[in-house]
Every structure is written in C-alpha cells, then in structure tokens.
A and B are shown apart, each in its own frame.
Chain A
Amino acid sequence: MVRFNVLLLMVLVVCGLGVVTSQHKARKVFQALEMEQERARQLEVEFGQLQLELSTWGAAPRIEKIAREKLRMRTPDSDRGLAAVAGGGSQR
C-alpha cells in the first residue's frame, strides 16, 4: 500500500512539473507571437510610410520639375510629331 502511494506521489510530482514546464513554454511561445504581431504592425506602419514616401518622390510636379530643369526636356513641337498608323507606315 505504502509503495503504491509513493508511486502515486511520484506521478503527481512529475505531472506537476509537467504542468509548470508546459505553462512556461506556452508563455514563451505566446510572447514570441506577441513580438511577431508587434513586428507585423510595425511593418504595416513602415509600409504606409514608404507608400507616403513613394507618392512624395513620384509626385507629378517633382517629376516635371526635374525633367524640365535638370534634364532639360521639353514637349516637342507639333510639326515634329509623327502619327503611327495601325496598318503600318506613318504619316506626317
């Protein structure tokens, strides 16, 4: 009888330790999940900021300014244009 009780006690201790470790592991994993979710939010924010940056750099007024002032581009005169015709060949 005593031996059986000691056995049960040992099982109980093992189970108790198991609960503790699994709880610990669960918390670790949960924290990792939290961190990843936080990172996802951060990336979302960064994506937004990059989009904003993209729009700012790619804004039409800026492109026009650079094209005209830095690259010295301009719209060609209409008499220098050629209209492409679908059937092949071109006409002035």
Chain B
Amino acid sequence: MRRFKGTVAHKFAESPLLQLSLPPWRSRLLALLLLASFVVLIGRAFYLQIVNNDFLQEKGESRYRRDIEISASRGRIADRHGDVLAISTPMKSIWAIPPAATLTPEQNRQLAALLETDGKQLARKLDTDKTFVFLRRQIPPEVADQVAALKLPGIGQNKEYRRFYPTGEMTAHMVGFTGVDDTGLEGVELAFHGQLLGQPGSRSVIKDRRGQIVEDVGSIKSPQDGQDIRLALDSKIQFLAYSHLKQAIAEQNAKAGGIVVLDVRTGEILALANWPTYNPNNREKLSGSQLRNRAVTDTFEPGSTLKPFTIALGLEANKVRFDSIINCAPGRLTIGNATIADAHPHGALTVAQVIQKSSNVGAAKISAMLPAQRMWEMFDNVGFGQLPRLGFPGEVSGRLRPWKNWRPIEQATMSYGHGISVSLIQLARAYTVFARDGDLVPLSLTRVDASFLQGGRVFSPQTAREVRAMLEMAVLPGGTAPKAQIPGYRVAGKTGTAHKLQGGRYANKYVSSFVGFAPASEPRLIVAVMIDEPGAGKHYGGEVAAPVFASVMGSSLRTLGIAPDAPLVVAQAPKPPAPKAKL
C-alpha cells in the first residue's frame, strides 16, 4: 500500500484526463432536437387521428364492423276476398367453391343424401375449374340447417325465396309465375312485377368474437317488402269457370278453350281460365301450348257473336227498327262473286229474329245499309283492333282492317264476324255495351273499390235495351241457344260458330263460342266461353259453348247471392220427371 501514499487518490470518472470541455449549446441542441421530433410525432398523430382520420377509421372498422343485407320478400297476390294465390317463403340454396371443397367419400355421401342427389353426380359437380357452383337451389330451411351442421369446407348457403301457388293450375294463366331469381315471367307476376318486387335493406353492425351482433352503427336502411296485389279475381267463380270449362273440353273432345267472367258494373275480371293449363308449382315439362293465355293472346274469328253489334249500329243509325222486316229468303245472298249462306234457310225475319235465329243473310243485308266508316268506328269504339291494356304479357289487339280498303263482301262478312279477329277478352268486354246502357268500361285485373263505374258511351241506352231484349230471345225456345237458360234467372246472350282459317282457307274445323249476361233485368255478370275445335260431333255454339255458359253463370250468380228474376222452372220442352232424390 505504500505505493499509493502521497499520491492523490482519484476516482476514475473524475480523471482529469477525461474531462472534456464541451460547449454548453450541444446538450441544449440535442434536447431541442428531441423535443422537435416529439412535436413531429405528436403532429403526425394529430393529423392521422383527428384531421385526416378516414383511413384509420376504416381499417379499424373493417376488423369488427359488418354490413348485413336484410332481404325483402316479394309481395303476395291475393284474390278479391284475400285468399292467397301466390306467396313467397324463404328457402335456402347450397353452393360450393369447388377448389376449396375437398370432401371425404363419407362427407360426399352424407351431403348427397341431404341434397337428394347421386353421390357421383355431386362429385362431378365439385370436380370443375369453376370458382362457384350451385349444388341445389330452393331447399327447405330445415335441410339447409342439417347441411350446415356437417361443417363441410367450401360449402356454403344463402337465403332465397320460393314462390308457391296454392291454387295451382286453376289460376295458372291469371297469376303466372316467377323464375328462380324472383323475376316475374308470366301473368300478373310479370304485369305487376315492379310493385311486387321488394327492395332489400342493409345495416352496419358490430359483431363480437362469437359472431353475435352487439351494436348497430351508422344508419339502417330498412327493407321495403313488395306490395301485396289484390286481384279482382273471385276464387270461387274462377274454380267454377275452370272446372266447367275443363269438363266441357273433355266431353267435346276439343283442342283448347277459354272462359272469361266479367263484372258488368265495374269491368273487373272475376275469372279467366284456359285449357290446356299447367301447374305453376312444378314447371318441369312445360309446352308452349300449355303456357298460352288463350283468352288474351289468341285471336279468332268470332262469328255470329258480332251480329248484335251490326244490328245495334243499324238501330242507332235509324236504318232499321226492332220490328223491321228483312227478307232472308232463300237463305243465300250473292255479293260480287261470293255467296253468303245461312246454316238453316229462313224466310222473312224481323230484325229481332235475325239475332234470335242468327241469320248471316239478315246481318249482311243490314250492314249493306251502313257506311263502312261508321261500322269501323263502332268496332273501334267497342275495343276491337285495340290492345286491352291489361299489362298481360303477349296481349293482342286482334285484326280490324282500315275501312277504306273494305270491299262490299268484306263488310258483309264482318257483319257476322268473319274477316275480323278478336280475343276472347275483347269480345267479353265489348258485350258490356249491351249489358250496361250502351257504355263501355275499361277492364281491371285488380279489385275496384267502387260499386259502379261510368264508361264511354258507344250506343244510346234505348239501343242497348232493344239489343238486350233480342239477345234474351236468342236463348229462349226458338232461338239458337236454349241450352244457355238458367233456372231462376233471365239470360241474354249470343252464340257463335265460326269456321277456322287454315292457310288462308276456311277448314272444316270450328270455334264455338257463347257470350252472354244475366240477370237480363239488371245484368251483373258477363260470361264469354270459347271452345276450339270441338271433335265429338257437335260444333254449334248453342250445343257446345252455351251449356258451359249456363252452368258457370248459374252457379256464379248463386255464389254472389244475386236475387233471381225469373221463375225457377226453365222454359223448354217437357222432360221426363226427375227421380225422387234420396236423402
């Protein structure tokens, strides 16, 4: 220890050798720099979090915020009493992302069993290059839950709606149907597609770790369900019309047919049925002929059902009177080089009898007194040659040629319904002028909440009343359609039997029709029946179509509770007494 004696003991840190003389500004500068960088950091943080915070906000939200679509359902279609004709219920679709869907044979078997398909077929569907395939669409939610419980990789599901039609084929042409992605394809489903369609809504939510929604953020766009459509259709009358038409077509061995029932007061379509038809719930084997809504899309030459219009114009123009005599002998009339003939030759007939006996010659002679232009205007006024504007897909205007090109023979044939073509619905509507006091109401598919609508005037009330009386004679004994009579009600109507045009020539095929209304004292319903190519021997409208009219009209009037205006006994040749009913 001696060594250190006498020397000054220095600590290392205080070694004078180490003492540096630093200028004081250096430490200050350093402090300042540090402070400045903190300011920069704070400034940047301020900028990112307060001034321009969108980016971070978005990044943060994307980690817990989810946008959910809220589906809206398509509106219901109901009849006038609120009975559902078409309704959507939620179903599920199962889809796969094939590259991600690697299933074990066992899983493949389970899935195929749930989807009711073949295991091989399923494997083939999954073995593609596509990035997305639907495995099965529109399966019941319970089955979809079972599929979800399998927890298969690459298999997912989404919600969609399936449309059901409880009344099936009975209302098929009226209601129509939708495609798999909820777009209307036919009938009312297409005509009112815009109103029926719902607007899906959306909401943003915060989901927690377990996938439960814990909070709504932002605004909710609520879904707009499609509007319900209340049709004018009456299910009971529709059923009566459909079943009687179907039965008649089977009995007459006919090719096709159609029937329309209208409310005289409001122009509502209470029933519209066609045969052949289809089941809208199962459309696997559909043919074009089943799909056609014949009453609206097919035109035919109406035949004698147009005679009342010619006669009414004759009355209106004061060319003839109710009891004027028209000489129809000898049952044929030659105009130019063509001859018009009656099915049964008649002698001298009054104007009323021309309707009652349905004389072509009589109608042609009356039309010869009328200018072509007035006839054209009258046909145009009652809606022939014009679209009915119901919004039905494929509705047609029929054919009414401009009057300037009419030759005399054409005007004559048009007077009894040849050389002009109309659809059944146009024909039924045109008859409103006689069922009402000479005015024409527009037709309506949807329910009208008025008890009476005023229409556009075509004939004077006097003319309409006179034609009504003539039409009543046509269904009484001595007329062409005694089979159109209904016990308890006075009926007015007109038969039509027209040859069909085939390749420009009239073939030996017929369209039998009947249009009429009842009760004749205060008409409430119009029924128009058309039977295409009856093949069981009979072809006259009075034999084929009139009985359908009578059964549909009779039961519809009773269904609506309309008071009878005639005795319950039908005026006809006596029939053998009915056997006593067993109770």
Q: How many residues of B contact A (CB 8 A)?
A: 34
A34: CB under 8 A from chain B? yes
- Which residues 59-92 in A have Cβ within 8 Å of B in the complex? 59-61, 64, 76-83, 91-92
How far in angstroms is the closest Cβ of chain A from B278? 15
Mask for B75-87, Cβ within 8 A of A = 1, else 0? 0100000011101
- Residues A60 and B239 in contact in the complex (CB < 8 Å), given A27-B214, A52-B89: yes
B88: which of A48, A58, A79 is its contact (CB, 8 Å)?
A48
Query: Chain B interface secondary structure, helix, strand, loop or mixed?
Result: mixed
Which residues of B from 188 to 216 have beta carbons under 8 Å from A? 212-216
Which residue of A27, A48, A77 is within 8 Å of B215 (Cβ)?
A: A27
Do residues A45 and B89 form an inter-chain contact, with CB atoms below 8 A?
A: yes
Specify which chain A residues have a CB less than 8 angstroms from the CB of B170 in the assembled complex: 59-61
Contact of B20 with A by CB under 8 A: no
Bound form: Cα–Cα A78–B575 in Å: 13
A51 to B88, CA, bound (A): 11
Could you say which of B73, B236, B488 contacts A81, with CB atoms under 8 Å apart?
B488
Q: Decide: A81 and B215 in contact? CB cutoff 8 A.
A: no
Give bound CA distance, A56 to B76, whole Å. Answer: 15
- A55, B82: Cα distance in complex, Å: 10
Shortest CB-to-CB span from B521 to chain A, Å, is: 14
A54 at the interface (CB under 8 A from B): yes
Q: Is the CB of A31 within 8 A of B212?
A: yes
A49 contacts B by Cβ under 8 Å? yes
The answer to whether A80 touches B239, judged by C-beta atoms less than 8 angstroms apart, is: no
Residue ID in chain B nearest A26 by CB atoms: B215
Q: Once bound together, how far apart are the Cα atoms of A83 and B567, in whole Å?
A: 8
Q: Check B166–A79 contact: CB distance below 8 A.
A: no
* Residues 463 to 489 of chain B near chain A (Cβ within 8 Å): 487-488
| Residues on A with beta carbons closer than 8 Å to the beta carbon of B51 | none
CB distance from B551 to the nearest CB of A (A): 10
Q: Answer whether residue B90 sits at the interface, using C-beta atoms and an 8 A cutoff.
A: yes
B132 → chain A closest CB, angstroms? 27
B320 on the A face (CB < 8 A) = no
Residue of B nearest to A44 (CB): B73
Enumerate chain B residues within 8 angstroms of A54, measured Cβ to Cβ.
84
In the complex, are the beta carbons of B581 and A80 less than 8 A apart?
yes
- In the complex, chain B residues whose CB is within 8 Å of the CB of A60: 170, 235-236, 238-240
Q: Is the CB of A52 within 8 A of B164?
A: yes
Which of A31, A49, A78 is close to B569, meaning CB atoms less than 8 Å apart? A78
Q: Tell me which residues across on chain A come within 8 A of B487, comparing CB atoms.
A: 78, 81
Q: Check B214 against A52 for contact (C-beta < 8 Å).
A: no
Residue of A nearest to B215 (CB): A30
Contact B235 A51 (CB under 8 A): no
Min CB–CB distance A29 → chain B (angstroms): 11
User: B119 at the A/B interface (Cβ < 8 Å)?
Assistant: no
> Which residue of A has the minimal Cβ distance to B70?
A41
A79, B89: Cβ atoms closer than 8 Å: no
- Evaluate contact between A78 and B212: CB separation under 8 angstroms: no
Q: Is the CB of A52 within 8 A of B166?
A: yes
Partner of A83, one of B83, B167, B240, B568: B568
CB-CB nearest in chain A for B225: A44
Whole-angstrom distance between the Cβ of B259 and the nearest chain A Cβ? 15
- Known A-B contacts A45-B90, A60-B235; A31 and B214 likewise in contact (beta carbons under 8 Å): yes
Specify which chain B residues have a CB less than 8 angstroms from the CB of A59 in the assembled complex.
166-168, 170, 239
**B215 touching A55 by the CB < 8 A rule?**
no
Q: Is B570 an interface residue (CB 8 A)?
A: yes
- Known contacts: A78-B488, A80-B581, A83-B568. The answer to whether A51 contacts B239 by CB under 8 A is no
- Sample 8 A-B pairs with CB under 8 A, ordered by A number: A27-B214, A27-B215, A49-B89, A52-B164, A56-B166, A59-B168, A59-B239, A76-B581
Given A45-B90, A54-B84, A80-B581, list of 18 further CB < 8 A pairs? Answer: A27-B214, A30-B214, A31-B214, A34-B212, A48-B87, A48-B89, A55-B83, A60-B170, A60-B236, A60-B239, A64-B243, A78-B487, A78-B488, A78-B569, A79-B568, A81-B487, A82-B568, A91-B567
Binding site for B on A (CB under 8 A): 27, 30-31, 34, 45, 48-49, 51-52, 54-56, 58-61, 64, 76-83, 91-92
